[in-house]
Structures are given as structure tokens and as C-alpha cells.
Amino acid sequence: MSSLSIPDRTSIVMWLLSGCFLIFTMVVVGGITRLTGSGLSITKWDVVTGTIPPTTEADWVHEFELYKQTPQYQKINDHFELSDFKGIYWWEYIHRLLGRLIGLVFVIPFAWFVVRGKLDRKLIWKCLLLFALGGLQGFFGWYMVKSGLIDEPSVSHFRLALHLCTAFITFCFTLWFAMDLINTEKTKPTGWISNLNKYTKVVLVVTFIQIVFGAFVAGLKAGLIYNTWPLMGDSFIPDSVFYAVQTMGWHGIIDNMSGVQFVHRNLAYLVFFGVLFLLWYAWKNNKTQPTRLKAGQMTAVWMSAIFVVLQFVLGIFTLLHAVPLWLGVIHQAGALLLLGSLVYLWHRLGHLSVSEKSPMANQ
């Protein structure tokens, strides 16, 4: 059990969960930035001076002139006026500003907790890991944007996946460390609960792979083709997928619009039925086996099931409507919520609260 006092533990949990909220917000704004084509509007990476947006007309004209030198303007947006440029600039600016805000929200309380002696050595190392992941996320953001400022008017979908998945990983680690301070009693799952724990890990891995392919779909704009369901056009596997694999080998499923969409579609079924299997397995054994899940653990199972159903339906509607802005953003946010719910379930299966550890706790 944690040696922290309840007030100290509560304040640290609130700090970590506020970080989760800000990361979630950044993922949402990042989705808007991507879908509005705003990500390449700011061509410079000034960590400090870039905090201040253009304040005069001359500043705006200067930024616009820099943007005119990019492939995106020259090949796609050469019809833009200054007012159009401002529209995309603000989304990217807000996205970068949120990144800076997350850094401040982490560093300032962290320094305060350390100075006051509120963090033990183990927790300090955990926080340093989060700091490193945040720095890596920022680097991958710069690395991604850089790929769209040279020759092509779009970013590399591989770099987009790196950028997005690092945000998801940072969110999950932050949530896990917060949960360590909420459910402080470690327990080793046994019997059928041990199996449920193993199955949860498998589904979690498949879900993460699905998110990677979701990033590929986003980066390649593969959601703009085959806007039908359940078939891709008039077949389960269209000829374009066979052709991509025949001509590109395994690159046909990671570097081709049809191949990437095909994999993303079918991984969705694995994730959907995988999570529902977790619900079925937990519900069945909770009824028939002497060892039962705690109420909070069963709630975590239901939470994952609800999120996977919502995400699956959102994915279908996003595809059928050719990725409108609002659906695309909600679908991306839903992926983070689903992944987070599975991480939460995994944690709950191996940790109990003080009240749950009590012999008087309900079984």
C-alpha cells in the first residue's frame, strides 16, 4: 500500500488525471487540426517565441508568406487569401499551445511535489518517464510536420502514427500511475480471473494495433474510398487489395489506401468481438464460479464493452459519410477512450482498493 497520506495521494491523483484530460483534449484538437488541413500552416518550430501568435497585420502577412513556400499551399491551397490562412493557422496554434500547457501543468506541480517531499523515489521515476514521453511526443510532432514541408503537401502516415500513438501511450501510462494511487492493494488474479486478465492483455494489444492502422487510414486519407459497409464496394476483398499485395508485397497493407482500410476494417471486428468476449466470459464465470469479481472490476468490464460498441458504430458511420469533421474527431477520441478503458480494466484486475481488500468486502 502507498505510504502517502490520503490528502497527498488525492492531490497527486488529481494532478495526474488533469494530465489525462489535457492529453485527451489535445488528441481531439489534433484530430480537428488534421481534418481541417491545418497542421502545416505554421512552418517554424519556436518553442518559446512561438507561444505568442501574430498580433499585427504585418505579422500575419509574414506568416502567410512563409506558408506560401510550402507544398501544401503551392499544390492545394494556392487559392487561399489571408483570411483563409488565419482559419487553419489558429487550429495548429491551439494544438501547439496545448502541448506547451501540458508541459507546464506537468513540470510546475512536479517540482512543487518534489520540493515538498511528496513523491517517493519510485513515483519520481514514474513521473520522469511521463516527462520523457511528453518530450518524445513533441519531437514526433515536429518530425511529422517536417515531412509535409519539403516535397509533398501532406505528412507521412508513418510519422502521424508515431505522433498519435505516443500521445495514446502517454495517456495510458498517466492513467495507470494515477490508478496505482487509487487502488493501492496489489493482488494476483487466480483461476478464471487470471484467464480474464490474460485475455484482456491480448485484446489490449490488438486494440493498439488497430489504432496504429487507424492512424495509417487517417494519414493516407483512406477513409475517403470504399464508403460502403459491410462490403468494400461490392466485395469483401476488392481487387485493389489483391493488386496492392501482389505489386507491393507486405507494404500493400501498410502503405496503400485500399490495403490499409481493409486491415483497419477487419481488425475492428477482432476488437469488437474480443471485448464482447471479455464481457461474456466475466459475466458467465461471475455467475457460476465461487471466485467472483469485485463490483468495481465488473464495472470496468462493462465500461470496455460500452465503449467498444460505441466505437464500432462510430467507425461505420464515419466511413459511410466519408469522414466528416465531427465524426472523424469523435471516432479518434473514442479510440482513446476505448484503449483507456481496457488499460483501466487490466489495472483493476490486478489491484484492489483498501475497502475491496477487506474481508468484509462484497464478493
For the chain, what percent of residues have pLDDT higher than 90?
83
Same domain, 158 and 193: no
What's the mean pLDDT in 94-107?
94
* Enclosing domain of residue 218: 183-363
Q: What is the pLDDT of residues 269-290, one digit of tens each?
A: 999 999 999 999 999 999 999 9
Q: Do 148 and 196 reside in the same domain of the chain?
A: no
Lookup: cell for 98: 496545448
146, 138 in Cβ contact below 8 A?
no
pLDDT of residue 21 exceeding 90: yes
pLDDT for the residue 175: 97
User: Does any domain span residue 309?
Assistant: yes
- The C-alpha angle with vertex 34 and arms to 32 and 38, in degrees rounded to 5, equals 90
Select the highest-mean-pLDDT range: 1-5, 12-16, 50-54. 12-16
Say whether both 217 and 123 belong to one domain: no
1, pLDDT greater than 50 = no
Could you give the number of structural domains in the chain?
Answer: 2
Q: Is residue 307's pLDDT more than 90?
A: yes
Encode 71-87: b = buried (16+ Cβ within 10 Å), e = exposed: ebbeeebeebeeeebbe
Kindly tell me if the per-residue pLDDT of 84 is higher than 90: yes
What beta strand segments (E) does 207-321 contain? none
- The one-letter amino acid code at 234 reads D
Domain presence at residue 178: no
> What is the rounded distance in angstroms from the CA atom of residue 149 to the CA atom of residue 322?
26
Each residue of 189-218: b (16+ CB within 10 Å) or e?
beebbeebbebbeebbebbbebbbbbbbbb
The C-alpha atoms of residue 282 and residue 149 are separated, in whole angstroms, by 50
- Give me the pLDDT at residue 332, please: 97
Mean pLDDT of 55-70: 94
Check pLDDT > 80 for residue 64.
yes
pLDDT in tens, 144-175: 988 888 877 788 999 999 999 999 999 999 99
Q: What is the mean pLDDT of the chain?
A: 92
pTM: 0.93
Q: Among 164, 197, 213, where does a domain finish?
A: 164
Choose among 75, 80, 46: nearest CA to 61: 80
The verdict on 199 and 250 lying in the same domain is: yes
> Which residues lie closer than 8 Å to 288 by C-beta, 6 or more apart?
none
Same domain assignment for residues 218 and 120: no
Residue 317 and residue 222 in one domain = yes
Same structural domain, 118 and 160: yes
Are both 33 and 140 inside the same structural domain?
yes
Cβ neighbors of 24 (< 8 A, separation 6 or more) are 171, 333, 336, 337
- pLDDT for residue 49: 65
Q: Which of 111, 131, 164 is the last residue of a domain?
A: 164
Q: Is residue 23 part of a domain?
A: yes
Place of cell 481488500: 357
**172 assigned to some structural domain:** no
**pLDDT for residue 251 is more than 90:** yes
CB 122 within 8 A of CB 158: no
In this predicted structure, what is the pLDDT of residue 185? 82
In a domain, residue 25? The reply is: yes
Q: Looking only at Cα atoms, what is the longest distance across the chain?
A: 74
Residues 207-242 have pLDDT tens digits of: 999 999 999 999 999 999 999 999 999 999 999 999
In a domain, 98, yes or no: yes
